[in-house]
């Protein structure tokens, strides 16, 4: 059932008729995977039994917030895509499975990255002992950057693939002029994000500036 | 689809037409996060392998019940809000994400608090050794109270924000007189709860009575 | 939307019109809690890393099957109740929360019980050493039986409460003669099950036959 | 509500009218179990705290991918079945419960198998020490093959049972000629898969070629 135009001002996507009706099983499965990932990032450590352990739970909250925002951003892309187009053909199922795979694959690394950043930043003002313990050398910092840039690029390539597929179904979905344009633009913007990530990975891997390519984001 | 008035006597909210139709993905994601939080509080420890471990599972049931009730109370606020207004715009998605973040952040601390309370209360009749082990000093008891009051206040500020947003959409949602009043009142009541929590935190942090400000609730 | 009579031969409840429409959030939250409980029973131990650990995963499969069947039986009662009546008022939310609490509370104990039974039965043919290690004495076997009988009784008292509430809403739900009868009978049957469980607990606790009251089931 | 024929070109099943309407609770429960299984395979190990542990998370990604693909393949069969026929009678609930049981039972073994394969393949080029550590002897390799073939056969027997039940409900579901044929063919194909798996298990168990029967797949 299409959203009536009167209702469209109460959600976040006023220029688009939503073709997705009731939540499909593909979306349901994905939601569960996203929610599980959020929880896995939140409770990476064992439950606290003393006050100082409790405090360290809250301290790691900053790292948790970092992963939480990234995962929820990906979820929001996913959410908008499926609400807008309501597609569920073979290719969508395949791309969606790929996305879930990458998300689950990067849950723990995302937590690691966040923990690492909150060790790295104060290290600039003191010393790099803990950083060295976690990473084990400057060339590993380089590899870290390449791995995460790669993951980031893959996520946005999948999103670009999803939007590209929706654009190719223009007639079946009865996209009007604005909607078609928005679809093409979403695809382009995802491709640009993937490109930037791969550029950063390339700079880090191939030039001597190595891990210092990070601030290019 | 709006609830027909004939059906409204079989649910818990007889004075309100429910604008939320089928469960949205925002609600679905939130439900999963809530259910996971409930489970994480329930099974904080390893599975029991002997009878005495089994008994300690049941004993910790009181602590579990405490966290269970608080989480389910927040879930019920969440449930009513989304069923009533069926809103899903940018601001709602953001506030909802913030709420989920706070819930996941406080899952283990909630369990800790509950365990702590069930150590604290018998301690008044015997001695404070275990309490001292868990907390490590009277000034930490103070900090505990401030932290939880702060979390409590944030949850109710978010709920107040949600209701405030619904009230500002009065016309789009076609709220009638009673519904608008109920919405305003829900917002006011959430603000009062947040205010009380911050007052307790202030008393605990700034006055000499410190952790003994707890019974002010 | 009520199920059309033409469709009712494709589900398990042919004599009842289903008042529950799309899955509600109360049901969604409950489904997640049930599924999590199933998983927690399934993967109580750490993942296997050698062949002999793998074999012990399959051996514990019998214990898993036991808990799985009991949980899924409770889920099926829950499922039929909410599909049939579609109720979601204050009392239902409260009773449902109580049920979820008991389910989460008994997840690990259920696994323990199942493991215990698969140690106990072979013990009759060999010796009771492992049993003694797990339980630590005949009087604890008695307590085990009382605890589980109590949990069993509470679950069926809640189910009886749910059906009793549905029966009291007879007119609002427009139950016809058959449906009202089925509702009353479901309530009676749940009460009988709760009664039997409490009788067993009483026999175990108050008479000298103690844990040997188990086969009364 | 039946899918309109105009919409059928946007999903993966163009020759079938979908009888399943909104996602049922049976599907919801199953989705959660599948998503949990995916996550359990993904995060079998503890979260990484150093760079080398992080790398081993990515290395185990190949093993994860293996289990992920198998589980998602089973999910897809499940998804198509329930969308196509929308059945939910006693026998379906029972077969579905059996399927969920087998899935949860095989989550950790699937992960073990995948880890094992990624140890086995390089072993052909170097030596079999790690393989020997994991398995402990050639006759265990044989047992491994029998166990997994058995699990595989059971899954496809259940799927065949589901399709057989749908075919027997031909009139109630108003299957047309093509749909009835597709249903029969799905059943036959599942039976063949189950048969192949049992043949491999038989060859492995009864003939001297033992574990070398694996490549028969």
Section D98-109 average pLDDT:
90
Per-residue pLDDT band at C212 (split at 50, 70, 90): low
Question: Does D213 or A177 have the greater pLDDT score?
Answer: A177
Q: What is the pLDDT of residues D49-74, one digit of tens each?
A: 777 788 877 877 888 888 899 999 99
| Residue D14 to residue B38: CA distance in whole angstroms | 41
Q: Which of D12, D28, D61 sits opposite A28 (nearest CB)?
A: D28
Q: What is the pLDDT of residues B176-200, one digit of tens each?
A: 888 899 899 989 999 998 998 888 8
Q: Which of C5, C34, C38 to mutate to test the interface with D (most CBs of D within 10 A)?
A: C38
The DSSP line for C138-180 is: HHHHHHHHHHHHHHHHHHHHHHHHHHHHHHHTHHHHT--HHHH
Instruction: Show the CA angle centred on residue D191, arms to residues D23 and D118, nearest 5°.
Output: 85
Residues of D with CB under 8 A from a CB of A: 9-12, 21-23, 27-28, 31-32, 34-36, 38-39, 42-43, 47-52, 54, 57-58, 61, 64-65, 68, 72, 75-76, 79, 82-83
Residue A112: its pLDDT value, please? 81
Residue B216: its pLDDT value, please? 56
What is the CB-side half-sphere exposure of residue A30 using CA atoms within 13 A?
29
Domain count, chain D: 1
| Residue D200 to residue D217: CA distance in whole angstroms | 8
Residue B160: its pLDDT value, please? 94
Residue C89: its pLDDT value, please? 84
Interface predicted TM-score (ipTM): 0.84
| Residue C69 to residue B46: CA distance in whole angstroms | 22
Question: Does C149 or B10 have the greater pLDDT score?
Answer: C149
Q: What is the pLDDT of residues C100-132, one digit of tens each?
A: 999 998 888 888 887 777 777 666 666 666 666
Q: What is the per-residue burial (b if ≥16 Cβ within 10 Å, else e) of D110-134? A: bbbbbbbeebbeeeeeeeeeebeeb
Please provide the average confidence, as pLDDT, over all residues in chain D.
Answer: 80
Q: Which of D10, D38, D47 sits opposite A87 (nearest CB)?
A: D10
Highest mean pLDDT: which range of A150-164, B42-56, D58-72: A150-164
Domain boundaries, position C38: 20-216
Sign of the torsion angle spanned by Cα atoms C64, C67, C73, C76: negative
Q: Cβ contacts (< 8 Å) between B47 and chain C: which residues?
A: 44-45, 108, 111-112
What is the CB-side half-sphere exposure of residue B141 using CA atoms within 13 A?
16
Q: Which of D10, D12, D35 sits opposite A29 (nearest CB)?
A: D35
Section A38-62 average pLDDT:
78
Section B29-55 average pLDDT:
83
Q: Which residues contact B146 (CB under 8 A, 6 or more apart)?
A: B201, B204, B205
Per-residue pLDDT band at A2 (split at 50, 70, 90): very low
Residue D74: its pLDDT value, please? 92
Please indicate whether, in this complex, the C-beta atoms of A47 and B140 are within 8 angstroms of each other. no
Please indicate whether, in this complex, the C-beta atoms of A108 and D23 are within 8 angstroms of each other. no
Please indicate whether, in this complex, the C-beta atoms of A134 and D43 are within 8 angstroms of each other. no
Section A130-145 average pLDDT:
66
Residue D3: its pLDDT value, please? 41
Inside any domain, residue D1:
no
Please provide the average confidence, as pLDDT, over all residues in chain A.
Answer: 80
Q: Which of D29, D34, D130 to mutate to test the interface with C (most CBs of C within 10 A)?
A: D29
Per-residue pLDDT band at D158 (split at 50, 70, 90): very high
Residue A7: its pLDDT value, please? 47
Task: Please tell me whether residue D11 adopts helix, strand or coil conformation.
Answer: strand
Please provide the average confidence, as pLDDT, over all residues in chain B.
Answer: 80
Residue A187: its pLDDT value, please? 92
Percentage, residues of chain C above pLDDT 70: 76
Residue C1: its pLDDT value, please? 35
Q: What is the pLDDT of residues C128-159, one digit of tens each?
A: 666 666 666 556 767 777 888 888 999 999 99
By the 10 Å C-beta count (0-12 exposed, 13-18 middle, 19+ buried), D185 is classed as exposed
Q: Which of B22, B51, B75 sits opposite C29 (nearest CB)?
A: B75
Residue D157: its pLDDT value, please? 95
Q: Cβ contacts (< 8 Å) between C35 and chain D: which residues?
A: 29, 32-33, 36
Percentage, residues of chain A above pLDDT 90: 24
Section A25-32 average pLDDT:
90
User: Are the C-beta atoms of residues C45 and C60 closer than 8 Å to each other?
Assistant: yes
Per-residue pLDDT band at D9 (split at 50, 70, 90): very low
Residue B5: its pLDDT value, please? 39
CA-to-CA separations, D116 to D64, D66, D129, in angstroms, rounded: 12, 11, 12
- Is the model's pLDDT at D87 over the cut of 90? no
Please indicate whether, in this complex, the C-beta atoms of D39 and A33 are within 8 angstroms of each other. yes
Question: Does C103 or D138 have the greater pLDDT score?
Answer: C103
Q: What is the pLDDT of residues B78-133, one digit of tens each?
A: 998 988 888 888 889 999 999 999 999 888 888 887 777 777 766 666 666 666 66
Q: Cβ contacts (< 8 Å) between C65 and chain D: which residues?
A: 101
Inside any domain, residue D43:
yes
Inside any domain, residue A118:
yes
- Is the model's pLDDT at C75 over the cut of 70? yes
Least confident stretch, A31-35, A120-124, B45-49, C82-86: A120-124
By the 10 Å C-beta count (0-12 exposed, 13-18 middle, 19+ buried), B195 is classed as middle
Inside any domain, residue B3:
no
Task: Please tell me whether residue C88 adopts helix, strand or coil conformation.
Answer: strand
Q: Which of C10, C50, C52, C83 to mutate to test the interface with D (most CBs of D within 10 A)?
A: C10
Q: What is the pLDDT of residues A185-212, one digit of tens each?
A: 989 999 998 998 888 888 777 766 555 5
Percentage, residues of chain A above pLDDT 70: 76
Section D127-133 average pLDDT:
63
Nearest to B110 by CA among B53, B35, B42, B47: B42
Inside any domain, residue B14:
no
- Is the model's pLDDT at A213 over the cut of 90? no
- Is the model's pLDDT at C98 over the cut of 90? yes
Nearest to A86 by CA among A26, A4, A156, A10: A26
The DSSP line for chain A is: -PPPGGGGGGBS-TTS-----SPPHHHHHHHHHHHHHHHHHHT-SPPP-SHHHHHHHHHTHHHHHHHHHHHHHHHHHHHHHHHHH--BSHHHHHHHHHHHHHHHHHHHHHHHHHHHHHHHHHHTTS-SHHHHHHH-SHHHHHHHHHHHHHHHHHHHHHHHHHHHHHHHTHHHHT--HHHHHHHHHHHHHHHHHHHHHHHHHHHHHHSTTGGGGGGG-
Q: How crowded is residue C36: how many other Cβ atoms within 10 Å of its Cβ?
A: 25
Least confident stretch, A131-140, C51-60, D138-147: A131-140
φ/ψ region of C174 (left if φ > 0, alpha if ψ in -120 to 50, else beta) reads left
Q: Cβ contacts (< 8 Å) between A61 and chain B: which residues?
A: 105
Inside any domain, residue D45:
yes
Please indicate whether, in this complex, the C-beta atoms of C52 and D28 are within 8 angstroms of each other. no
* Nearest-neighbour CA in chain B from C141: distance (Å): 9
Q: What is the pLDDT of residues D165-210, one digit of tens each?
A: 999 988 888 888 888 998 999 899 999 989 988 888 887 777 665 5
Question: Does A21 or A99 have the greater pLDDT score?
Answer: A99
Residue B139: its pLDDT value, please? 62
Per-residue pLDDT band at A95 (split at 50, 70, 90): very high
Residue D5: its pLDDT value, please? 38
Question: Does C16 or A26 have the greater pLDDT score?
Answer: A26
Q: Cβ contacts (< 8 Å) between C147 and chain B: which residues?
A: 58
Tokens of C87: 């109720």
- Is the model's pLDDT at A158 over the cut of 60? yes
Question: Does D91 or B141 have the greater pLDDT score?
Answer: D91
Q: Which of A25, A63, A96 to mutate to test the interface with D (most CBs of D within 10 A)?
A: A25
Task: Name subunits touching B (3+ CB pairs < 8 A).
Answer: A, C
Nearest to A46 by CA among B94, C2, D49, D115: D49
Instruction: Show the CA angle centred on residue A194, arms to residues A189 and A198, nearest 5°.
Output: 145
Inside any domain, residue A11:
no
Q: Cβ contacts (< 8 Å) between B37 and chain A: which residues?
A: 39
Longest dimension (CA), chain A: 61
Inside any domain, residue C149:
yes
φ/ψ region of D176 (left if φ > 0, alpha if ψ in -120 to 50, else beta) reads beta
| Residue A99 to residue D5: CA distance in whole angstroms | 29
Tokens of A172: 């079946």
């Amino acid at each position: 059932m299409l959203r009536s135009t009167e209702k469209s001002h109460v959600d976040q996507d006023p220029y688009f008729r939503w073709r997705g009706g009731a939540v499909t099983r593909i979306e349901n499965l994905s939601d569960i995977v996203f929610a599980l990932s959020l929880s896995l990032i939140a409770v990476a450590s064992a439950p606290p039994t003393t006050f100082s352990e409790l405090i360290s739970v809250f301290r790691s909250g900053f790292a948790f917030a970092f992963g939480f925002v990234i995962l929820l951003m990906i979820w929001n892309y996913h959410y908008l895509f499926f609400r807008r187009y309501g597609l569920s053909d073979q290719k969508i199922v395949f791309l969606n499975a790929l996305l879930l795979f990458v998300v689950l694959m990067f849950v723990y690394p995302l937590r690691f990255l966040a923990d690492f950043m909150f060790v790295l930043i104060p290290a600039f003002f003191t010393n790099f002992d803990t950083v060295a313990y976690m990473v084990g050398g400057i060339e590993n910092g380089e590899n870290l950057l390449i791995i995460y840039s790669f993951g980031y690029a893959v996520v946005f390539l999948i999103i670009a693939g999803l939007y590209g597929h929706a654009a190719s179904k223009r007639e079946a979905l009865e996209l009007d002029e604005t909607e078609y344009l928005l679809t093409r633009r979403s695809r382009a913007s995802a491709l640009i994000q993937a490109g930037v990530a791969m550029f950063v990975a390339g700079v880090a891997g191939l030039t001597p500036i190595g891990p210092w390519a990070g601030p290019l984001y």
